[in-house]
Amino acid sequence: MKVLITGGMGYIGSHTCIQLIAAGIEPIILDNLCNSKEIVLQRIAAISGKTPDFYLGDVRDRALLDKIFSEHEIYAVIHFAGLKAVGESVAKPLEYYDNNVHGSLVLAEAMRDAGVKRLIFSSSATVYGDPQEIPIKETTATGATTNPYGRSKYMVEECMRDLVNADPQWSVTLLRYFNPVGAHESGTMGEDPQGIPNNLMPFIAQVAVGRREFLSVFGDDYPTVDGTGVRDYIHVVDLADGHVAALNKASPKHGLHIYNLGTGNGASVLEMVAAFSKASGKEVKYQVSPRRPGDIAECWADPSKAMLELDWSPSRDLETMTTDSWRWQSNNPNGYQE
């Protein structure tokens, strides 16, 4: 079975390729390398023993998509490709809508014309905005997003919902991620953000390894266990396994399928700092800064639907997440080197 992975060289995409290969599935990677490195392909091959076919290009390139679909008998598409920094999306909304929304539409059109109607979409818990209930269920209201990144994910979800309504032969699975962290246990693959990290774990890791002086903790006056924001952190390999499960369980079924991928537990910023300090044996210096606009106090998932219907459950705890992250960062202090 061949599956097209858009954005397959990125953090989540690359780990998903590893898990797909382990499950006997052949990933075909499309990536423009705007937030990834070509050396990732070598790391995938070293871990899995197989080198996936790789196409360097953009998901908005219709001619390239047609070429891929003509050269391979694609069973389904897992669509990771997209810009993902909340702060950057506020500064560059047009770029985010063009890449994330327009790119998804070009992909869906190419899939339709190629007769490939199974899609797993990399969505986000940001579609829930400031959630009306905790833990967050798939039935929790969406759309009240707080930034263009979240709105772009919500827009694509709605486009896919309309697509399934118009053509019931489609199978579209929306996977709403919470906060992916961790790295492959080998220490050879992990998160390598370009520039200043936008997510907590890589920033903590870069402070611990000496690349950053300190972590800025945005707000310590939230109504949480220690005043800092609480989030649901999920190991990237557990998240990757969720895609394999969705491919096996949901994609054979027509219609729209929606799942939260999280652990069902929340951890605060300072709890993450303490856990990483313990895993690394390094002090993680931090300074408290004012709250960021749009941030919410707490957010974690109810993953019971995915656990029941996909026969999937996250198995890696906070200690494993931080230990694997430190192994990756300490082995690769400057990320992927070419």
Domains of the chain: 2-181+233-261 (3.40.50.720), 183-231+265-299+309-331 (3.90.25.10)
Task: State which amino acid sits at residue 150.
Answer: G
Dihedral angle sign, alpha carbons of residues 234, 238, 241, 246:
negative
- Determine the Cα–Cα distance for residues 104 and 92; give it in Å rounded to an integer: 18
- Determine the Cα–Cα distance for residues 78 and 5; give it in Å rounded to an integer: 5
Look at residues 131, 226, 246 and name the one whose alpha carbon lies nearest to residue 178.
Answer: 131
Q: Catalytic one among 96, 128, 149, 154? A: 149
Interval 141-161: pLDDT, tens: 999 998 999 999 999 999 999
Written in H, E and C, the secondary structure of the chain is CEEEEECCCCHHHHHHHHHHHHCCCEEEEEECCCCCCCCHHHHHHHHHCCCCEEEECCCCCHHHHHHHHHHCCEEEEEECCCCCCHHHHHHCHHHHHHHHHHHHHHHHHHHHHHCCCEEEEEEEHHHHCCCCCCCECCCCCCCCCCCHHHHHHHHHHHHHHHHHHHCCCCEEEEEEECEEECCCCCCCCCCCCCCCCCCHHHHHHHHHHCCCCCEEEECCCCCCCCCCCEECEEEHHHHHHHHHHHHHHCCCCCEEEEEEECCCCCEEHHHHHHHHHHHHCCCCCEEEECCCCCCCCEECECCHHHHHHCCCCCCCCHHHHHHHHHHHHHHCCCCCCC
Residue 11 among the catalytic residues = no
pLDDT of residue 133: 93
Per-10-residue mean pLDDT of the chain, 338 residues long, equals: 98 98 98 96 98 98 98 98 92 97 98 98 94 94 94 98 98 97 98 89 96 96 96 98 98 98 98 97 96 85 98 97 97 87
